[in-house]
Chains A and B, each alone.
Chain A
Amino acid sequence: EAGVAQSPRYKIIEKRQSVAFWCNPISGHATLYWYQQILGQGPKLLIQFQNNGVVDDSQLPKDRFSAERLKGVDSTLKIQPAKLEDSAVYLCASSLTAGTYRYTFGSGTRLTVV
């Protein structure tokens, strides 16, 4: 079974620029999550999708962050404009459904904002 694919692996941008991350979950997984992990901290949930609908985006800074999951498969997370404090690893995870508790995480995208 292929894992959760994320790209790019690394990204360095200047503040106020925009950036996008891509995630391809495991085939058949209905639930997709984006987490932000700042250095030295645990991951924080940004948004949860069930198929192509948003279940929870209460911790997503909606003034600058947006995410979509067209057709209920791949997902894109965008930041525009980026701030220095957005420097973090962005992790994508998927599960069969929200109630299965078996998550598969991707390797993440490390974003550095300078």
Chain B
Amino acid sequence: KQEVTQIPAALSVPEGENLVLNCSFTDSAIYNLQWFRQDPGKGLTSLLLIQSSQREQTSGRLNASLDKSSGRSTLYIAASQPGDSATYLCAGDAGGTSYGKLTFGQGTILTVHP
């Protein structure tokens, strides 16, 4: 059974810092990996998708990478801002008949203070 661990569970940083969130899977056979953002009382918003043939994705100040050999992913946030405060979740699927069946980590709660 696939399990996903996110480290740290919570992170509080001053505005402007660069930070790294980590995600690891017990089964490294990850086909696609996504990072989501969840704001209080809201649904999930997809930030970055790393598909099977890819190893890295970038969007603005966000960069996500996936090391399939180790089953580890990192989300890098550059020059953090208070608006980045949210819970960040990683999720993966195993492809094949598991298309769309995402297994989520428990999330990292990020607080960026001015």
Q: Footprint of B on A, CB under 8 Å? A: 4, 31, 33, 40-45, 48, 55-56, 91, 93, 95, 98-99, 101-108
Contact = CB atoms under 8 A, between A and B. Distances in A.
Contacts, number: 54
Given A40-B106, A101-B51, A45 B101 contact: yes
18 contacts: A4-B43, A42-B4, A42-B91, A42-B104, A42-B107, A44-B104, A45-B101, A48-B101, A55-B100, A56-B101, A91-B43, A93-B44, A99-B99, A101-B32, A105-B44, A107-B41, A107-B42, A107-B43
Nearest to B98: A56
Contacts of B32: 101
Interface residues of B, number: 22
B4 A98 contact: no
Given A99-B99, A105-B45, 14 more contacts: A41-B107, A42-B4, A42-B91, A42-B105, A42-B106, A43-B44, A45-B101, A45-B102, A55-B100, A56-B101, A93-B44, A98-B99, A103-B46, A108-B43
